[in-house]
Structure 1
Amino acid sequence: MTGSPATLLRRAVSPGRHEGSPRTVLLVMCAGYFLVLLDVTVVNVALPAIGAGLGTDIGGLQWVVDGYALALAALMLTSGTAGDLYGHRRVVLAGLVVFGAGSLACGLAPDVAVLTAARVVQGVGAALLLPGTLAIISRAFPDGSARARAIGVWAGIGSLALPAGPLLGGALTEAFGWRAIFLLNVPIVLVALVWSAAIVRESREEQARRLDVPGVLLGSLLLLATTYAFIEGGRAGATAPQVLAAAGLAVLAVPALAVAELRRGDDAMLPLPLLRRPAFDAANVVAGIMNMGTLGTLFVLMLFLQSVQDRSALLAGAAVIPLFAPLAVIAPFGGRITSRIGSRLPAAAGLLVATAGLALLVLAAPHSPYLVLLPAFLLWGIGMGFLTPAVVAAAISAVPPERSGLASAMNNTARQTGGAIGIAVAGAVAGQPGDETRFVRGFHAVALGAAGLYAAAAVLALLVLPGALGPGGEK
């Protein structure tokens, strides 16, 4: 595609025509989705290098990871509504611009404060991209069976981002330094932006909800205050004035958010009628616990592999491939099982298998050989492979078909929220990697805590999640 910068800009903001084939649209949207999920895991392997390069402690590293997760969690629900109102093409293009600008700022950040702020910008761009890519794909494939296959490709590409993140992050950090993991995004985003501007047709909903600005602000305040309380509690102690103030603010934000959402009615970011469905609530609680345990433990695990066991970034990234590869391979198979027998048993089985894997991490010691860690990684990853499609299916099947998109977005928000809080808690429990003895004890406590949460979630899944579905989707 050729033209002056002004011409390209006009194409990007104009309504556009659907000049590309559906397969081309699918390819470009998958590229954006891949980048969003890649940045969930690619940073973890570079954390020791970031800490050394910018002179920050574990609290600063927690903010680097959580800045992205918090923005993604806070804006996920609203960005879908923004696409309905203003056009999914415009929102996706805006998301690419914001994500690319955030990536560039991350790569050039002179200190951890700037890096954290840039990660928040990245998270805003990711939140704009994630629901919009799926909406555009759905409209590019009007035939139901073709749409289902396209969404399967979209989900499969996303699954590949999880094992690719640690390996790619380790290779880039080892070869070019930690800044390369962010700067690599910039040319990819530019290509996706220009290509999307040329081939994607604009679309919006005729009966779109209004944006819930009070809900977004209060929800963001709740997430930020909760995360701050955990991270600063690990640094300054649970009774520090700033920690108590943040915890009090989080407590006050809960009823304020509930009142604001009640007043918004059908335009609420969190539609309260959906939250009165036990199966829907249980699916979201399990989803939050899933990411809380996984991302929290992963945060500490990557520091353990590098700072305690002295692995390079590349070797640490390669070491966790057995954790993420089963998720990418088993998730489609787990989805087929869930469609036949319901979510209850696959979710409970996945949680229990992952519980065993997390519990085995207590065997990890500073000089443990890799074969001690491998069974833990495999069991953990296999369990996640069965669990992930089951909790998403449970959330969607618990609501009317016309609310399935919102149900999926709320389930994703629960996962991102759980992940952000899990990282904050795990870092506070583990402490600084420099104190090796305390850090290893903290790592074991994080793993056992995650295993306990998973076991409790398995009980919840068995009691509340739906079993096999009969004709017409009835239990």
Structure 2
Amino acid sequence: MSDDLPDPTDGGAAHRGSAGLTLLAAALGFFVLTLDTQVVTVAMPVIGTELNGDITALQWVVSGYTLMLAALLLSAGALSDRIGASKAFAIGLAAFTVASAACSVAPELGVLVGARFLQGAAGALVLPASLALVRQAYPTAAARARAVAAWTAVGGAAMAAGPLVGGLLTSTLGWRSVFYVNLPIGLVALIALIRGPRSIPRPTPFDLPGQLSATLALAAITYAVIEGSVAALAAFCVVSAVFVIVERRSAHPMVSPRLVRRPAVAVPTATGLALNFAFYGAVFLLALYFEQVRGLSALETGLMFLPMTALITMVNLLSGRLTTRYGPRLPMALGQAVLVGGVCGLLALQHDTPRVVQAAVLLPFGLGAGLAVPALTAALLESVDADRAGLAAGLLNAGRQFGGALGVALFGSLAGGAVVTGLHTGALVAATVLVATTIATLVFVRPRMTAQAPQDEPFARSGVPGSGAGADRPG
């Protein structure tokens, strides 16, 4: 669908209906991707018990998904442009649904990990294409802002409900049901998409050497952390050097070296990585702590996480107001400081810690992440021109996804067979990283908003952890 199509808000009922179906499809795609990250984390301890998997295998079940999402998100927007957003969304969501079915019937952990890799690769195509579809369906800025607000709210609802849904499904129907739930949602989204208009492909450059080297580099460092492999660490260094050389010499680099060298871009990206590193690393081990150490059921574990995830969604709105009034530096720094407090609170968790203390430790995670993520996204978009916003947002969200994968890998590796010890050690590492990014925020981020972020990218202010905003281009 091209940008010169009639505005669905001003046209007839047919246009409004078509736009509504497109928005429904896009929102359901975002919903199922966000829900999947939450429900699977709660089901991890039960999966490990039933499939005889140790903590290393469980790390790959979680990290395999986020690793592929991070690696492929960098160029997924360009691929969506090349083949058209509607086709990219349909292919990605169909593949995600099939991969979910494969997860649900996996007879062993090796098959489950492989299917999770496929889910991540498919999700990387769905996420940017869903946003491109919304942009095409609502050509005017005002209508699009309302549509993207609905899209973001759906992701927030998935984030808040995910732990409870995962716990409820795992406790009543078994862990395989957390993957079954993706099938009907994916099917409804595809049916809605069929009724909408087709996107027009555009000849967008695609940096294949950059994509391959980036994927190999991220896979190597994740493998090195999880498996403790020196060879993988060496491979990461070599492939990373190749990636830098390739991007410097490419006429159409996937990641512009000049963009990455700018502190106004590098600091928000590093902050997003650090936040997800601490958040998802801690959540991974907390799920094991609640179920394996404290003996809670999957449903009780989901209820423990519910106040934290609900707080993220509510605080996102407060962060937006603070950013508008005071600029992004205050909520960014404050959010990180609060999250440092939450991470340090993990040191209080022992084998006999009262339930009320366990619940209290989680609240700073929701408050800190909810404050910092929308602000750092706004800071990044303020620092680039409108025609670079898609690239910058893609870089940011790829960094955040990789931070989550690395957090799960490192926290899990530190735990070994001692979950409480791993939580304490991981907390110290995460706190150190967050203190460093907080200092960088105070030094390099502007105290005030000097210009509004481009009105065509309102979705990039979404504060839902794990959400992507790298595909603001029409497909």
Same fold (TM over 0.5): yes
Deviates more, 1:61-70 or 1:138-147: 138-147
Q: Return the alpha-carbon distance in structure 2 between the equivalents of residues 181 and 293 of structure 1.
A: 24
Q: Return the alpha-carbon distance in structure 1 between the equivalents of residues 325 and 125 of structure 2.
A: 33
Q: Return the alpha-carbon distance in structure 2 between the equivalents of residues 366 and 72 of structure 1.
A: 35
Q: 1:13 is matched with which residue?
A: none
Matches of residues 55-454 of structure 1 in structure 2 within 5 Å?
A: 55-205=52-202, 208-233=203-228, 243-265=229-251, 267-432=252-417, 438-454=418-434
Give the secondary structure class of the aligned counterpart of 1:365: coil
The 1:20–1:200 alpha-carbon spacing in structure 2 relative to 1, beyond 3 Å, is farther
* Aligned-partner residue type, residue 464 of structure 1: F
Structure 2: runs of 5 or more not aligned = 1-13, 455-475
Deviation at 1:327, TM superposition (A): 0.6
Deviation at 1:332, TM superposition (A): 2.1
Give the secondary structure class of the aligned counterpart of 2:350: coil
The 1:202–1:310 alpha-carbon spacing in structure 2 relative to 1, beyond 3 Å, is same
Alpha-carbon RMSD across the aligned residues, in angstroms, is 1.6
Specify which of 45, 48, 52 is matched with residue 51 of structure 1. Answer: 48
Q: Return the alpha-carbon distance in structure 1 between the equivalents of residues 424 and 410 of structure 2.
A: 13
Give the secondary structure class of the aligned counterpart of 1:110: coil
* Aligned-partner residue type, residue 33 of structure 1: F
* Aligned-partner residue type, residue 46 of structure 2: A
The 1:471–1:451 alpha-carbon spacing in structure 2 relative to 1, beyond 3 Å, is closer
Deviation at 1:276, TM superposition (A): 2.3
How many pairs align? 441
**Structure with more contact order per residue of length (Cα contacts < 8 Å, sep ≥ 6):** 2
Q: 1:4 is matched with which residue?
A: none
Give the secondary structure class of the aligned counterpart of 2:195: helix
Superposed CA offset, 1:174-218 (max 9, x none): 00110000011112111211221222431344xx43211111111
Q: Does structure 1 retain, via aligned residues, the 8 Å contact 2:21–2:192? A: no
Deviation at 1:472, TM superposition (A): 6.4
Superposed CA offset, 1:70-105 (max 9, x none): 110111021100111110000000011110010000
Deviates more, 1:404-413 or 1:114-123: 404-413
Q: Does structure 2 retain, via aligned residues, the 8 Å contact 1:18–1:201? A: no
* Aligned-partner residue type, residue 301 of structure 2: A
Deviates more, 1:96-105 or 1:444-453: 444-453
Deviation at 1:23, TM superposition (A): 2.7
Deviation at 1:306, TM superposition (A): 0.4
Q: Return the alpha-carbon distance in structure 2 between the equivalents of residues 369 and 177 of structure 1.
A: 28
* Aligned-partner residue type, residue 69 of structure 1: T
Superposed CA offset, 1:454-475 (max 9, x none): 222111111111221235679x
Matches of residues 453-468 of structure 1 in structure 2 within 5 Å?
A: 453-468=433-448
Q: Does structure 2 retain, via aligned residues, the 8 Å contact 1:166–1:317? A: yes
Q: Does structure 1 retain, via aligned residues, the 8 Å contact 2:268–2:396? A: yes
Q: Does structure 2 retain, via aligned residues, the 8 Å contact 1:277–1:398? A: no
Q: Return the alpha-carbon distance in structure 2 between the equivalents of residues 30 and 223 of structure 1.
A: 29
TM-score after normalising by structure 1: 0.90
Superposed CA offset, 1:331-354 (max 9, x none): 022123213322111100000011
Deviation at 1:19, TM superposition (A): 8.5
Q: Return the alpha-carbon distance in structure 1 between the equivalents of residues 165 and 321 of structure 2.
A: 30
Give the secondary structure class of the aligned counterpart of 1:167: helix
Deviation at 1:447, TM superposition (A): 2.0
Deviation at 1:273, TM superposition (A): 2.0
* Aligned-partner residue type, residue 210 of structure 1: P
Q: Return the alpha-carbon distance in structure 1 between the equivalents of residues 16 and 339 of structure 2.
A: 45
TM-score after normalising by structure 2: 0.90
